[in-house]
Structure 1
Amino acid sequence: MGNRGKPRGVSSSAAENLLPTGARRASGGAVRPGRAERRKLQRKVKRRRRRSAVKEIPLLVGVAVLIALVLKTFLLQAFVIPSGSMENTIQIGDRVLVDKFTPWFGSKPQRGDVVVFKDPGNWLAGEKTTKKNDPVVVKQVKEGLVAIGLLPSDNDKDLIKRVVAVGGDTVKCCDAQGRVTVNGMPLSEPYIHPGNKPSAFDFSVTVPQGRLWVMGDHRANSADSRYHRTEQYGGTVSEDSVVGRAMVIAWPWATGRA
């Protein structure tokens, strides 16, 4: 009679320690959670972790945007090539990474460098480009992503050419073999588009200090310094207008180095 109401097969002392939830009372009087309570506790912990992860997403996005802005402003920026003026070195649609870091330490463009620079004054009118006409909303979204460095720039105010001569140089074309010369020395230009001449017409220009003479590798399809000789500074480009030096073609990978 003394064990009435107690679980069958459980001693009197053990039954007294059982709680309604199935938990057991520890020897010191503390309650040890049962299996159901442990599962409930685990679910609570998982929910808290999920909420914590969701709360961290805006922070992670903010950090990513900040890093992209720093990279774009001070280190590297990607550009989409809209024209064929640098073929076959760089193709239409290639994504080129441009070094913006070294100019901060006084590094100046050298002969042979491929550089991106701001349009000195309506040069792009002579370039044949293949820019897409996106809907207004898509265009605005792209511009925003470009501004923070998450998309490559296809800015219609930037050009890409090769530096042929720098300040103080005299650049001429053509010598008896049809080559471009700098300070009387003929240039070896294996990068010129197959079938193109170094230049279809003669010119002779002394480059002012702080300026550059630039030409496209696809000489027959490049409205470069040669076509602006009658303008102020004789078709040369200011070093200050240079955005950076093209380092590598980021996409497609197979194209290789600029």
Structure 2
Amino acid sequence: MSGTRRTDERNGRLGGVLSGLAVALGCLLFLGGFIWGAFVYQPYTVPTGSMTPTIDAGDRVLAQRIDGTEVHRGDVVVFKDASWGDLPLVKRVVAIGGDRVACCTDGKLTVNGKKIDEPYLASGQPASLNGIPSTTVPKGRLFVLGDERKGSLDSSVHLQDAGNGAVPRSTVAARVDAVAWPLRGMLDRPSSFSSLPGGVSQPGPIAYVVGMVVVGAVLIFGGAAWGPITGRRRRGASGSRDRGELAGVS
């Protein structure tokens, strides 16, 4: 039986090594995911319901830090324009510099004459409450609307401002990728903008960040539990052999 015990000891040492490696790798992934996420993403609490039903007042969102030059139509962005107030605002980009935007044709927003389906609007909600006269967005600017068109203070109510109500790209600080709390997951990229020049933006790395954190946590807890579990099994198996030996001797 001594050979069996030596085998058990070798297996136990190997299990301990593998358990330690799992915990170490898990810590690397877990901490790496958090560090990567903190570097790329900024959390924001949305103060108003102007983006309902996509984002409700009080929701906590994760927004990828980007440069304003990276913004595409359909993106939900965080920006701060002094002429609109002192607080960061969250709106959806519906047109970019050079576009001609208007509302409404057959009840729909149009961009460069193309009718835009907006599945993010609440059922039965008009694309614009008071209409938007045909407006050309100046170069380097973004025409933004809230998804709650009845009460959002957006480009449609700033049409008399400089830039025809559009905000400079330089005011954009981040693009919202997901609603973190309450947990609603990733925001969809509206396909209705994909046929326009430049298409839509690609999601940020949030799925990879979350995956790293989750896999890291599983490895940490799994690796930490492996040692005690296998230890109990070895002790149980050793006790059974000892009892068998004693029975044989008797």
Q: TM-score range by the shorter chain?
A: 0.5 to 0.7
Aligned amino acid, residue 91 of structure 1: D
1:232 aligns with 2:162: yes
Aligned amino acid, residue 116 of structure 1: V
How far did 1:107 drift?
Answer: 5.2
Ranked by relative contact order (alpha carbons within 8 Å, sequence separation 6 or more), the top structure is 2
Partner in structure 1 of residue 49 of structure 2: 84
1:250 aligns with 2:180: yes
Partner in structure 1 of residue 246 of structure 2: none
Residue in structure 1 matching 2:146, options 216, 228, 234: 216
Secondary structure of the equivalent of 1:240?
A: helix
Partner in structure 2 of residue 172 of structure 1: 102
Residues 198 and 219 in structure 1, CA contact (< 8 A), matched pair in contact too: yes
Residues 80 and 172 in structure 2, CA contact (< 8 A), matched pair in contact too: yes
Aligned amino acid, residue 115 of structure 1: V
How many residues are treated as equivalent by the alignment? 154
- Unaligned 5+ runs, structure 1: 1-63, 125-155
Q: For residues 111 and 81 of structure 2, what CA distance do their matches in structure 1 show?
A: 24
TM, length-normalised to structure 2: 0.57
Residue in structure 2 matching 1:185, options 100, 105, 114: 114
How far did 1:71 drift?
Answer: 6.2
Partner in structure 2 of residue 195 of structure 1: 124
Structure 1 segment 83-122 matched on structure 2, within 5 A: 83-100=48-65, 102-103=66-67, 108-121=70-83
Residues 77 and 98 in structure 1, CA contact (< 8 A), matched pair in contact too: yes
How far did 1:193 drift?
Answer: 2.3
Q: For residues 158 and 119 of structure 1, what CA distance do their matches in structure 2 show?
A: 8
Residues 69 and 169 in structure 2, CA contact (< 8 A), matched pair in contact too: no
Q: For residues 120 and 234 of structure 1, what CA distance do their matches in structure 2 show?
A: 16
Q: For residues 246 and 95 of structure 1, what CA distance do their matches in structure 2 show?
A: 10
How far did 1:97 drift?
Answer: 0.5
Which of the two has greater helix per residue? 2
Residues 193 and 219 in structure 1, CA contact (< 8 A), matched pair in contact too: no
Aligned amino acid, residue 76 of structure 1: Y
Q: For residues 92 and 53 of structure 2, what CA distance do their matches in structure 1 show?
A: 13
Q: For residues 81 and 46 of structure 2, what CA distance do their matches in structure 1 show?
A: 14
How far did 1:218 drift?
Answer: 0.4
Aligned amino acid, residue 42 of structure 2: Q
TM, length-normalised to structure 1: 0.56
Structure 1 segment 128-139 matched on structure 2, within 5 A: none
Q: For residues 239 and 250 of structure 1, what CA distance do their matches in structure 2 show?
A: 25
Aligned amino acid, residue 118 of structure 2: E
Q: For residues 69 and 166 of structure 2, what CA distance do their matches in structure 1 show?
A: 19
> Structure 1 stretches (4+) deviating beyond 3 angstroms?
none
Larger Rg: 1
RMSD: 2.1
Give percent identity, aligned residues only.
Answer: 45
